[in-house]
A and B are shown apart, each in its own frame.
Chain A
Amino acid sequence: MKENKLLEIFRKRGEKPSSLIEVLQDIQQTFSFLPEDALRLTAEKLKVPLIEVFRVANFYKAFSLTPRGKYLLTICIGTACHVRGASRLIDEASRLLDTKPGCTSEDGFFTLEAVNCLGACALGPVAVINGVYHDHVTPVKLKKIIADARAGNLKAAKTGSTSPSKTDGVKGKKTAVKNTLSQSAKKKPGTAKGKSPLLKKKTVPVKKTAVKKRGDFRWK
């Protein structure tokens, strides 16, 4: 099965040395990493020395030699996100997942990745989890994003995340005013508070465990 898939890739891209990167990209996409036997077969079929295949696989950031986790958490550390505090997100994510950028958490659940620019600079700092974008992320928000993903709900924090971003515009101010009128308690925008009730409900069980275990908090 696996070999068939590989042969199909070789056939599509052409069995020549110049197809190496395209072939590796397809393998990465199919298996979510580059398995060793696939690299060996690539070297043989494309007539490229194995060491060269390994060198290319090691050089480019798109390739991973170890399996990726169920969730790929990408944090943008482009200049625009950096000046808005993206480095704090990397620290926080590394701590929460007990891993470092480019690596996968021990339980195989999360792969943390730092990228140099996603081109969504207006929304920075940006974090993406399995393709779902989160804008104006703070360490507090990131904790929720991870907890929600952990609970199997990728988009939970997303529904809440659009509201704080709107608060700097006039439209957002209006909603803020409405909040104070209807709920009588003033909620600070951008924090974990003031989210939709739906979100609150969903995150409660995860949060509880997190609080209990605080101190030696690990996702295990």
Chain B
Amino acid sequence: MEVIKNPEVLSVWRKKILNKNTFYTHTVSLCGGTGCQAGSCGTVISAFKKELARNKLEKKVRLRVTGCHGFCEQGPLMIIEPDNIFYCRLSPGDVPEILTQTIKNHKIIERLCYTDPSTQKKCPVESKIPFYAQQSRILIDRNKNTDPSDIEDYIAENGYAALCKSLKMQANDIIQEILKSGLRGRGGGGYPTGKKWQQTAAAAGEKKYIICNADEGDPGAYMDRSILEGNPHSVIEGMMIGAKAIGADEGIIYVRNEYPLAVLHAGIALEQCRNAGLLGKNILGSGFSFDIRIVRGAGAFVSGESSALIASISGKVGEPSPKDVHLSEKGLEQNPTNMNNVETWANIPLIIENGAMWFASRGTERSKGTKIFALTGKIKNTGLVEVAMGTSLKKIIYDIGGGSISGTVKAVQTGGPSGGCLPASKFDLPVDFEALSEAGSMVGSGGMVVMDENTCMVDVARYFLDFLIDESCGKCVPCRIGLSRIREIICRITEGKAEMQDLELLEEISQTVSEASLCALGKTAPNPVLSTIRYFREEYISHIHDKKCPAKVCKSLIKFSISPEICTGCGACKRECPAGAISGEKKQIHNIDQSICTKCGICRETCRLSAISLN
């Protein structure tokens, strides 16, 4: 790879790449994201390579293994260009047919197309699938055109053009552009990015740092991973522009160790940039020098908090510290530091390239642009969804997500452990920073977990408490002790041992924890409890008063029993029961001994006649 000495050489390189790509008749983008990898896409990839070689099509058809396309529910999936044909749920056996039918003869294989569950119609074209058609995919859409380990793909997509533009701009003009765009931090806080940059740029200090926070710890959120994994160059370019604006010469990507593919791809991308002269000294002949290194996290949710993250980079225990002095003044090694999350950085090149007005044309008054949400839980179309800020929850859950698997959606949990649960009656709310906060939840990093009538809201509150107690660093008392006390009360409720006044006590302790904790983890920790009490009070009451769990989840309040009318005495449940709680002779009606039953539910899963009921 030759070293690019100035922007003109970069343009020449881009033209060369685009010219090279015209030799291909087809480009097959196969999703190789973590979601599809878990769904065995690796076998499809190797089968495809083998078939291409067998048919001698390697020079005509380009196989591009990309990052996450977003529609994880349907994985492994592929898009065949130029016709935009979308095939899903692939297996290696489908590959020869794809080559002979679709690529050689332009015939669509109906079996592999996506079926719209509401109309039962086949959708062979990606852009017409309701899940994709109703989104505003600006960031995530770039994934399908990019092989993350190949810088040429990114360059072909006009990559590093924004960098060239920004190198000619004054630092202050770049900041003004970001301010005008109205971009707000996508990591959860929603602090205006331009303002943050302004503060760090103005801070006194010779040495300044840029940090990309890729410590995405929220369970149920994986958009940052998908960007860093699928399009690492967009993050790197964003950081370079930020460094130029702020006057930093060193950048750090702090990434979770649980994301090995993201670590790998970011590392490859950095190496390619260095080889091409896009990182290092005197970038593109502009006199601007900048380099980035990767620091791997070691698994601690609280380390995603800015002051804790700085401690972790320094090789210390990742505990938050009081924020009397802002990071923008004294951050890493006491130097001014600017930290933004992955999605925020990935937006920067697009804003510089297309202008602040282009970005601000989407979204609401105070929340601009688009946001990626991870739609998960009891929903038909699980995956990553990118919509304009201000899109209603209803549209996201029903139109894009396709509604719940079982029929009704009871609630949606947004914002991860710091957020809250919103009931179906609030689904008209526009998704923006303010609207969700007012309703007792938050946008957070963008996790949306959909819950149906089989999800117990008290159990959900307990789940988040378990998570937060586990992840609390234990430094401050309100968080460490307060959360444990809250959990004790919630456990009493799920066991049917609570009194009505426990609800008031819950609210009181929650208030103390949120007011007195040191960092955002503790301050927002009671949100899942408070929001479920606020919107699902009747569920709490039926646990406390009637000793019943309406969703049939809480083990102490449920009972498995065998219906004598249906049971044929086949003995399947008896064989599988781990506790040995089921008795009965062959061909006789079986019976569950409630005193031994551990309520694992294996018997119910095993019974082919659905004779076992849950009360």
Contact = CB atoms under 8 A, between A and B. Distances in A.
Interface of A: 17-22, 24-25, 48, 52, 55-56, 59-63, 77-80, 82-84, 87-88, 91-92, 95-96, 115-124, 126, 133, 135, 138-140, 158, 162, 165-166, 168-172, 174, 188, 190-191, 193, 211, 214-215, 217
Contacts of A171: 89, 111-112
18 contacts: A18-B315, A21-B296, A21-B312, A21-B315, A59-B473, A82-B460, A88-B601, A92-B602, A95-B598, A119-B258, A121-B220, A121-B377, A122-B75, A122-B382, A133-B38, A135-B38, A139-B605, A162-B91
A-B interface, 4 closest residue pairs, ranked by CB to CB distance from nearest? A61-B299, A78-B219, A122-B72, A60-B298
Given A80-B220, A133-B37, A25 B257 contact: yes
Given A25-B296, A122-B35, A20 B315 contact: yes
A139 to B, nearest CB: 5
A121 B72 contact: yes
Contact of A91 (B225, B299, B575, B600): B600
B317 A56 contact: yes
B496 interface: no
B107 interface: no
B449 interface: yes
A158 B602 contact: no
Contacts of B316: 20, 52, 56
Given A92-B600, A117-B220, 13 more contacts: A25-B298, A56-B315, A61-B300, A79-B376, A83-B460, A95-B578, A116-B301, A117-B258, A120-B72, A162-B39, A169-B74, A172-B89, A214-B580
Interface of B: 34-35, 37-40, 72-75, 88-89, 91, 111-112, 115, 120, 217-222, 225, 257-259, 295-301, 312-318, 374, 376-378, 382-383, 405, 413, 416, 447, 449, 451, 455, 460, 463-464, 467, 470-471, 473, 575-576, 578, 580, 598, 600-602, 605-606, 608
Contacts of A55: 317
B602 A140 contact: yes
B88 to A, nearest CB: 8
Given A83-B451, A92-B600, A139-B602, A121 B38 contact: no
B571 to A, nearest CB: 11
Contact of B35 (A88, A120, A214): A120
A123 to B, nearest CB: 5
B34 A120 contact: yes
Contacts of B473: 59
From A52, A120, A123, A133, name the one whose CB has the most chain B CB atoms within 10 angstroms: A120
A132 B233 CA distance: 29
Given A59-B318, A79-B416, A122-B383, A139 B601 contact: yes
A81 to B, nearest CB: 8
B578 A92 contact: yes
Nearest to B580: A215
A119 B312 contact: no
B35 A79 contact: no
Contacts of B38: 118, 120, 123, 126, 133, 135
A191 B220 CA distance: 26
A83 B605 contact: no
B13 to A, nearest CB: 33
Contact of A80 (B40, B115, B377, B467): B377
Contacts of A48: 315
Contact of A191 (B405, B464, B606): B606
A119 B317 contact: no
A119 B602 CA distance: 26
B449 A80 contact: yes
B576 A140 contact: yes
B317 A59 contact: yes
Nearest to A57: B298
A138 B383 CA distance: 21
B382 A138 contact: no
B382 A118 contact: no
Given A135-B39, A162-B91, A83 B455 contact: yes
Nearest to B122: A170
Contacts of B600: 88, 91-92, 139
A117 to B, nearest CB: 4
B455 A169 contact: no
A122 to B, nearest CB: 3
B605 A191 contact: yes
Given A95-B578, A119-B225, A122-B382, A82 B35 contact: no
A119 B296 CA distance: 17
Most chain B CB atoms below 10 A, which of A19, A62, A79, A96: A79
Contacts of A59: 300, 317-318, 473
Contacts of B314: 17-18
B447 A170 contact: no
Given A124-B376, A174-B111, A22 B295 contact: yes
A170 B380 CA distance: 13
B39 A79 contact: no
A193 B60 CA distance: 44
A211 B574 CA distance: 10
A119 B312 CA distance: 22
Contacts of B608: 188, 191, 193
Given A138-B605, A139-B600, A117 B455 contact: no
Given A20-B315, A123-B38, A79 B378 contact: no
B318 A116 contact: no
B115 A82 contact: no
Contact of A84 (B258, B298, B377): B377
Contacts of A172: 89
Contact of B72 (A77, A115, A123, A174): A123
A16 to B, nearest CB: 8
A60 B318 CA distance: 8
Nearest to B116: A170
A92 B38 CA distance: 22
Contacts of A115: 258
Contacts of A25: 257, 296, 298
A169 B115 contact: yes
